[in-house]
Amino acid sequence: MDELLKAHEAAALLHTSERFIRRLIAERRIEFVKIGRHVRIRESALLAFVAAGTVEPLAASDITGRAA
């Protein structure tokens, strides 16, 4: 079972502000769990959010159009 993180704990893991995490929650851009009035983020949901935003680097041939 994943650890449930508070907003400030998720922010610390991503090295961002708590405000950014709360905005992700408000805009429903990240999966979260409501326990009564408390909001928690699964560690796996945080990792999935990061993976979804990962951009692969371009190869030199992608930039120049020539094979390396």
Q: What is the pLDDT of residue 2?
A: 86
Distance CA 49, CA 63 (A): 28
Burial of 4 (0-12, 13-18, 19+ CB in 10 A): middle
Q: What is the pLDDT of residue 67?
A: 63
Question: How is the chain split into domains, by residue range?
Answer: 4-53
Cβ contact 31:41 at 8 Å:
yes
Per-residue pLDDT tens digits of the chain, which is 68 residues long: 789 999 999 999 999 999 999 999 999 999 999 999 999 999 999 999 999 999 988 887 777 776 65
Predicted model pTM = 0.80
Q: Quick check: helix, strand or coil at residue 7? A: helix
Q: What is the pLDDT of residue 11?
A: 98
Distance CA 35, CA 14 (A): 23
Q: What is the pLDDT of residue 68?
A: 54
Tokens of 58: 């371009």
